[in-house]
Structure 1
Amino acid sequence: MRLSRREQIVDHLVLGLFALFAVVPLIGVLLSAVTPAKENEGSFAVPRRLALGNFGSAWDQGHFSTYMVASLVVTASVIVLTTMLGVLAGFAFARLSFAGSGLLFFVLLGGLLLPAEAFIIPLYFNLRGVGLTDTFLSLILPQTAQSLAFAVFWLRNQFRTFPSDIVEAARLDGARDLRVLWQVMVPASRAPIVTMCVLIGMWTWNEFLIPLVMISSDDRRTAPLGLTFFQGQHLNAYSLIAAGGVIVALPIVVAYFCLQKRFISGMLDGIADR
């Protein structure tokens, strides 16, 4: 369906307006991060000179090296665990026939509807009962469980669209289910899997409630939680707070820009049939 010239103009205006609402606050944070501390009053203003030293000061005073390492450990672990389990479960629901698969799949999808606020208190007492609070496992296991429902849903749909003739050809050559999965379907599904990993990585990196409840030690705080404590200690240091925010957001931004082609390909094209 071709859009008329008027419809195209309206679409671009609407998209431009939404983009403006999204970009302007980010520009404000970046400008605040490079504004000298004595000149920063918390307003949207272009600095007279750049103070890049704010990033070094925020890094040192906010102990962001410790927080970033903790976030990297948790995020990487969640991505790896969720991807491994999601690939196996997605293949099982998409290509294998077993009793109760339909019911089990819809029960699993219930995880997409359950917010963390609904289970965080019983989860805390359960993990405290087995001695896992204030550990990385208390962050990795719940967030893996949270992300797994989406991973299974995403990969099940992707594997169901995989060309059946390729699968049948592999099985005629003697390949069993696991070989078909890891040597045939997964390599052709790199773009959708990368898209899933980027989304899960973003959600895990930005998670705040679970670390807030589960972690009490400073060396196990994640970057968003550490930024909150840093903000509480520097309420009026707008330049340092903005610099800390940029530091925390930078890894996800860099990861997205490095993987954006595969991310977009996974969102739009799905499984490659080559």
Structure 2
Amino acid sequence: MKTSIGGRAAQYVIAYLFMLVALYPIVLMIASSFKTNMEIFSNPLSLPSSFSFETYKKLWETVPFADFLWNSIFVSGVSVLLITVFSALAAFYLARFSFKWSGLLYFFFLIGLMIPIKLGIVPLFLLMKSLGLLGTLWSLILVYTASGIPIAVFILTGFFRTLPVELEEAARIDGCSHFQVFWRVLLPLIRPALATVVIINFISAWNDFFFPLIFIQKETLKTIPVGMMMLFGEYETDWSLLFAGLTLSALPMIVVFLLASRQFMEGLTAGAVK
């Protein structure tokens, strides 16, 4: 059924309105980072009177923001890499090989989606302490990897099962091993699912406040969500510094989403159109 010109125009208008609503807080945050505290309180919704990077320069001098930024990038990047590698291998095995405990093993991964990992904070704290990882970035990486694998396996297993078995049979006839079939044939075909896994887990690790607050005590090892708390004073807060920090902390997430957005959208709509 064809959509009329008026109906299509109305759809575009609604879409642009939603886009403006979504982008407005981001624009307001960036604009506020160039304002002084007085401007923020007197004209919170206006553009800054002048554009100067003094606030950003002051931010790097006030707190070790470079350390916060690097810690967040390292933790989120390594966690996503480990999640993607391990979950892709596990999902391929579950989707393509049938064995006695395959259903139970798949259900074991699904349990990770049902039980919040924060419920086990005390055992996790004691585990990291016994392993000598408490107060290190690797404690965060291991927790994020363990919490991110279940949803990644769930997504990737579904995508692997939609791929035709004939592709693997043709590859094996050509002499490919199981790993070569996985790496050269199937993995390039599930890029939308991989992009979905990367974006979901990167944002989750990047924005997490709870585990860095519990596991990290050293100031130079804090991630951005916890490090930004240093900008809140006991009696007053420099809001321009805070907005500058929020702007810089949002940039890596925006870059990751832009790089993987096309594959991400294909992953969300996969199967909707035949």
Query: TM above 0.5, one fold?
Result: yes
- Match of 1:25? 25
Contact 2:64–2:220 at 8 Å: present in 1 too?
A: no
- Residue-by-residue CA offset, 1:25-49 (whole Å, 9 max, x unaligned): 2222111111134433273332222
- Residue-by-residue CA offset, 1:51-72 (whole Å, 9 max, x unaligned): 3221221122121100111111
1-structure distance, mates of 2:70, 2:143 = 19
1-structure distance, mates of 2:233, 2:79 = 28
- Match of 1:39? 39
- Match of 2:188? 187
- Residue-by-residue CA offset, 1:212-255 (whole Å, 9 max, x unaligned): 11110112111111112223478431111100100111111122
- Match of 1:251? 252
2-structure distance, mates of 1:103, 1:7 = 49
Change in 2 beyond 3 A, CA 1:165/1:234: farther
Contact 1:36–1:50 at 8 Å: present in 2 too?
A: no
Shift of 1:183: 1.7
2-structure distance, mates of 1:217, 1:149 = 30
Gaps of 5+ in 2: none
Moved more, 81-90 or 109-118: 109-118
* Aligned-pair identity (%): 31
Partner letter of residue 70 of structure 1?
Answer: N
- Match of 2:137? 136
Change in 2 beyond 3 A, CA 1:45/1:94: same
- Residue-by-residue CA offset, 1:67-100 (whole Å, 9 max, x unaligned): 1111111111101111110111010111011112
Shift of 1:139: 0.1
- Match of 1:211? 212
Change in 2 beyond 3 A, CA 1:173/1:121: same
Shift of 1:207: 1.2
2-structure distance, mates of 1:2, 1:145 = 47
- Match of 2:238? 237
2-structure distance, mates of 1:158, 1:89 = 13
1:117-132 to 2 correspondences below 5 Å: 117-132=118-133
Change in 2 beyond 3 A, CA 1:68/1:233: farther
Change in 2 beyond 3 A, CA 1:175/1:120: same
Q: Secondary structure at the match of 2:249?
A: helix
Contact 2:209–2:226 at 8 Å: present in 1 too?
A: yes
Contact 2:231–2:238 at 8 Å: present in 1 too?
A: no
1-structure distance, mates of 2:127, 2:234 = 32
Contact 2:231–2:237 at 8 Å: present in 1 too?
A: no
- Match of 1:159? 160
1-structure distance, mates of 2:235, 2:152 = 39
- Match of 1:102? 103
Q: Secondary structure at the match of 1:98?
A: coil
Q: Secondary structure at the match of 2:95?
A: helix
Paired positions, count: 270
Partner letter of residue 64 of structure 1?
Answer: F
* 1:266 and 2:267 matched: yes
- Match of 1:170? 171
Partner letter of residue 149 of structure 1?
Answer: P
Contact 2:69–2:249 at 8 Å: present in 1 too?
A: yes
2-structure distance, mates of 1:186, 1:259 = 16
Cα RMSD for the two superposed structures = 2.4
Change in 2 beyond 3 A, CA 1:177/1:233: farther
Change in 2 beyond 3 A, CA 1:189/1:67: same
Contact 1:34–1:51 at 8 Å: present in 2 too?
A: yes
Q: Secondary structure at the match of 2:90?
A: helix
1-structure distance, mates of 2:235, 2:140 = 27
TM-score between both structures, scaled by the size of structure 2: 0.88
- Match of 1:64? 65
- Residue-by-residue CA offset, 1:136-194 (whole Å, 9 max, x unaligned): 11100010011101111111111111121111111222322212111211123233213
Contact 1:234–1:241 at 8 Å: present in 2 too?
A: no
2-structure distance, mates of 1:166, 1:91 = 14
TM-score between both structures, scaled by the size of structure 1: 0.88
